[in-house]
């Protein structure tokens, strides 16, 4: 398990649409100044208690007892962690408890990148697959996100008529942001007949509980358009990666956004040639600058290449405002007992250019490799003055068990300049694929947040076509079919996601299938006697398209020549079925699930 300060950092970064930006605090509520909807009673309670996440040091029962002893209330246990509310006055007691480590909850910050792209169905080959009959039928796909504001109004329109909605937030809210709904709309535009799960969370403990739920529901595909800053060491480690890995090891295919930080990241060796104790980003450049607007949440995070809990090098960071005055500094002492991390979070009090400085050993030694992220909420797409794209991945995009999705540029020819990329700190190439960076509504939803659900939708169609493909086989199918794009200097070289050829997937929908129909009375359950009218050779694998997406268990047709029933069982291997298509005028018995 990662040590205390790594987990405490857990800066969750979510790409939230510009039209619905919400800034959430560690306890999942919004500051009164930014959200007038917060009730007075809620604010009063927030001053009396606080929500914490803890990891047990000795045993889970001892950690529980320590929380209860100070008058706390345990809300959730998941992933080897506890989430609880405790009196603020008792927090100091728990901070020094020998039975638990208190972990600071993540802070959500938007990272929206403006973009305007046409719908991507034709580009990824989705139009060919949809015309052939594939719609995601019988595939379970989940969007794991922060909020689904407005999803009820979208049911039967940009979302399926029915979805499974589940909140793992302590307050039970599904709203607060429309970011997750827009990701789900991308998937629905690609796979309209998939069974869609909308699941949200606000803490790492709640994320663990959400993953456990999706595993229990046997969900096939998960779309994850969120990112954490420096949660782990860029090698697939960290609390968030551990939660995600439980899902992928259970057989789920995860499409994860790479992040939008390629131009807001810098990495390189520490150097101090003029011996003033300040790192030089370039010759004579002891600072790195980034423009922010008043009210932006600024996040500055520094990590360097020493083991967790054993950092002997001592680096500090400071943030200065547009007038050069010191805004905030992080000067923790590592002393070979702590993690190689420093971080700052602060609201910008004025618009302008802010500068970041890194202090370290005079003269440069021992000269560790530094990794710096400077991001804002909302993300206005403004870069660091000096940036390095390599190594800019979010977590869990650095996981080796997920498909990491980068963004294509507006021309769909190259990797977008802002799209985060590897290599990971253990040398793996990332992202795995590139995808269009805007949803079906164009620039309203964009960035790698939109790219990830495009790939989740493609995986959904592949899962329908290959229902017995396990996670590794399914992701392998996507990667094999992906097409390489032109590469600019510094690009990751990842291919663009493509569904590829339909060869070998017959029978497919015949010409004129759009006019086909099943005539007869359709009871809600049991068996229906129906007559097929339409073109010859309609595949029974797609009979649900003639039944408004209803689940069909089996189809029976009487063969007058042999005087025997022929059967098609949905989802069964081909050798089980004695009929796989029907012709005009065929009389069939349909058994519904």
pLDDT > 70? residue 109: no
Supply the pLDDT for residue 114.
41
Task: Please state, as a whole number, how many other Cβ atoms lie within 10 Å of the Cβ of residue 438.
Answer: 26
Asked if 289 and 360 sit in the same domain, the reply is: yes
Q: Is there a contact between 302 and 341 (Cβ–Cβ < 8 Å)?
A: yes
Q: Is there a contact between 328 and 344 (Cβ–Cβ < 8 Å)?
A: yes
Asked if 417 and 334 sit in the same domain, the reply is: no
Which of 481, 499, 522 represents a domain boundary (last residue)? 481
- CATH number for the domain including 282? 2.60.120.380
Asked if 67 and 133 sit in the same domain, the reply is: no
Asked if 251 and 164 sit in the same domain, the reply is: yes
- CATH number for the domain including 38? 3.30.70
Which of 377, 400, 435 represents a domain boundary (last residue)? 377
Q: Is 97 among the domain residues? A: yes
Asked if 254 and 269 sit in the same domain, the reply is: no
Residue (of 387, 439, 418) closest to 113 by Cα position: 418
Supply the pLDDT for residue 443.
54
Tell me the C-alpha distance between 530 and 37, whole Å. 53
Asked if 297 and 198 sit in the same domain, the reply is: no
Which tens digit of pLDDT belongs to each residue from 155-186?
A: 999 999 999 999 999 999 998 889 999 999 99
Q: Is there a contact between 299 and 375 (Cβ–Cβ < 8 Å)?
A: yes
Asked if 295 and 424 sit in the same domain, the reply is: no
CA atoms within 13 A on the CB side of 218: 3
Tell me the C-alpha distance between 146 and 171, whole Å. 13
Asked if 201 and 329 sit in the same domain, the reply is: no
Mean pLDDT in residue range 132-160 = 96
Min mean pLDDT across 23-27, 283-287, 572-576 is at: 23-27
Which residues, 6 or more positions from 562, have their beta carbon under 8 angstroms from its beta carbon?
none
Which of 377, 411, 431 represents a domain boundary (last residue)? 377
Asked if 125 and 232 sit in the same domain, the reply is: yes
Q: Is there a contact between 248 and 401 (Cβ–Cβ < 8 Å)?
A: yes
Cis peptide upstream of residue 396 (ω within 30 degrees of 0): yes
Tell me the C-alpha distance between 559 and 563, whole Å. 5
Tell me the C-alpha distance between 140 and 137, whole Å. 9
Residue (of 181, 250, 241, 164) closest to 207 by Cα position: 241
Q: Is 552 among the domain residues? A: yes
Supply the pLDDT for residue 39.
32
Tell me the C-alpha distance between 140 and 153, whole Å. 21
Q: Is 396 among the domain residues? A: yes
Asked if 254 and 149 sit in the same domain, the reply is: yes
Asked if 419 and 461 sit in the same domain, the reply is: yes
Residues in a beta bridge with 353:
291
Mean pLDDT in residue range 452-464 = 96
Supply the pLDDT for residue 444.
67
Residue (of 251, 246, 243, 249) closest to 226 by Cα position: 243
The count of domains in the chain is: 4
- CATH number for the domain including 429? 3.40.50.200
Asked if 126 and 242 sit in the same domain, the reply is: yes
Tell me the residue range of the domain where 283 lies: 265-377
Q: Is 576 among the domain residues? A: yes
Which tens digit of pLDDT belongs to each residue from 56-77?
A: 999 999 999 999 999 999 999 9
Q: Is 489 among the domain residues? A: no
């Amino acid at each position: 398990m990662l040590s205390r300060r790594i987990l405490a950092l857990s800066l969750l970064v979510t790409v939230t649409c510009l039209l619905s930006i919400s800034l959430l605090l560690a306890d999942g509520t919004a500051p009164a100044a930014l959200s007038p909807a917060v009730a007075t009673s809620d604010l009063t309670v927030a001053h009396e208690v606080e929500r914490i996440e803890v990891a047990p040091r000795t045993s889970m029962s001892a950690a529980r007892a320590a929380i209860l002893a100070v008058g706390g209330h345990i809300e959730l246990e998941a992933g080897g962690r506890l989430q609880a509310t405790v009196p603020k006055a008792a927090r100091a007691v728990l901070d020094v408890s020998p039975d638990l480590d208190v972990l600071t909850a993540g802070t959500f910050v938007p990272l929206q990148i403006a973009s305007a792209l046409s719908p991507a169905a034709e580009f990824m080959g989705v139009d060919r697959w949809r015309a052939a009959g594939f719609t995601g039928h019988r595939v379970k796909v989940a969007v794991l996100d922060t909020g689904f504001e407005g999803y009820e109004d979208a049911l039967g329109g940009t979302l399926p008529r029915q979805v499974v909605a589940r909140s793992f937030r302590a307050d039970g809210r599904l709203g607060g942001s429309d970011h997750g709904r827009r990701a789900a709309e991308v998937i629905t535009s690609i796979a309209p007949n998939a069974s869609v799960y909308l699941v949200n969370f606000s803490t790492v403990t709640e994320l663990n509980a959400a993953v456990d739920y999706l595993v229990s529901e046997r969900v096939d595909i998960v779309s994850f358009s969120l990112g954490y800053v420096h949660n782990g060491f860029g090698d697939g480690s960290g609390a968030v990666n551990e939660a995600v890995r439980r899902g992928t090891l259970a057989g789920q295919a995860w499409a994860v956004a790479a992040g939008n930080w390629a131009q807001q990241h810098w990495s390189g060796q520490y150097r101090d040639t003029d011996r003033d104790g300040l790192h030089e980003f370039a010759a004579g450049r002891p600072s790195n600058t980034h423009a922010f607007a008043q009210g932006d949440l600024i996040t500055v995070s520094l990590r360097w290449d020493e083991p967790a809990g054993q950092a002997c090098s001592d680096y500090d960071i400071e943030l200065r405002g547009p007038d050069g005055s010191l805004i905030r500094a992080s000067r923790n002492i590592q002393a070979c007992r702590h993690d190689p991390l420093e971080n700052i979070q602060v609201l910008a009090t004025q618009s302008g250019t802010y500068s970041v400085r890194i202090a370290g050993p005079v003269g440069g030694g021992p000269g560790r490799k530094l990794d710096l992220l400077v991001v804002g909420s909302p993300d206005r797409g403004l870069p660091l003055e000096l940036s390095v794209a390599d190594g800019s991945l979010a977590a869990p995009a650095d996981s080796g068990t997920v498909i990491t999705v980068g963004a294509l540029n507006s021309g769909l020819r190259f990797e977008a300049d802002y799209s985060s990329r590897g290599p990971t700190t253990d040398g793996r190439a990332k992202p795995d694929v590139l995808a269009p960076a805007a949803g079906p509504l164009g620039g309203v939803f964009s960035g790698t947040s939109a790219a990830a659900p495009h790939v989740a939708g493609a995986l959904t169609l592949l899962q329908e076509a290959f229902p017995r493909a396990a996670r590794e086989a399914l992701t392998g199918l996507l990667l094999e079919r992906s097409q390489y794009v032109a590469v600019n200097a510094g690009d990751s070289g990842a291919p663009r996601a493509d569904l590829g050829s339909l060869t070998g997937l017959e029978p497919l929908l015949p010409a004129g299938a759009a006019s086909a129909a099943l005539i007869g009375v359709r009871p809600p359950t049991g068996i229906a006697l129906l007559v097929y009218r339409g073109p010859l050779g309609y595949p029974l694998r797609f009979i649900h398209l003639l039944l408004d997406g209803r689940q069909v268990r089996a189809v029976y047709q009487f063969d007058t020549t042999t005087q025997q029933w022929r059967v098609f069982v949905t989802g069964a291997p081909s050798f089980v079925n004695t009929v796989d298509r029907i012709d005009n005028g065929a009389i069939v018995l349909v058994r519904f699930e």
